[in-house]
Amino acid sequence: MGKFIYDGAVKVDFEDRTLAHLQLVIGAKLRRGEPFHFTWKDDSSIGDGRTTVWVHPRSSLVYKYYGSRKPRLNMAWIDALAYTANSPAGLYLVPEPMDTAPTGGTDETH
């Protein structure tokens, strides 16, 4: 289980595999200087709501991974997440689609 930390105050847990995909998509948007909203569903322990943050090039972001191996990346999932990030609603998690050509690293979840 990894952790996404926004501006030192907002902290949310994601599986390492999910976090790796989010990091790639967020990094691509920020490299292009494109700010966007990022929304996720909160854990039931904090009310079962949702949280949205405004991600911009001056945001302080930390991706804390708890696994020692880099997860395998699914290009179809990266594309699906990038599609949401480029929409008016901003980035949000979508289910991982099948990918026939995984890239990079090893898969620590299978």
pLDDT by 10-residue block (mean), the chain, 110 residues: 94 95 97 97 83 95 93 95 97 89 48
DSSP state of 98: P
Return the structure tokens found at 37: 């909203």
Return the structure tokens found at 46: 């904090």
Task: Decide if 46 is inside a domain.
Answer: yes
Task: Decide if 99 is inside a domain.
Answer: no
pLDDT of residue 108: 43
Return the structure tokens found at 52: 């949205």
Task: Decide if 9 is inside a domain.
Answer: yes
Q: Whole domain around residue 65: which residue ranges? A: 2-92
Task: Decide if 25 is inside a domain.
Answer: yes
pTM: 0.85
Q: Of 24, 1, 17, 2, give the one whose Cα is nearest residue 106.
A: 17
The rounded distance, in Å, linking the Cα atoms of 93 and 21 is 10
The rounded distance, in Å, linking the Cα atoms of 2 and 17 is 8
pLDDT of residue 105: 53
pLDDT of residue 54: 97
Radius of gyration of the chain measured on its C-alpha atoms: 14
Q: Of 75, 82, 76, 79, give the one whose Cα is nearest residue 104.
A: 75
Q: How many domains does the chain have?
A: 1
Task: Decide if 100 is inside a domain.
Answer: no
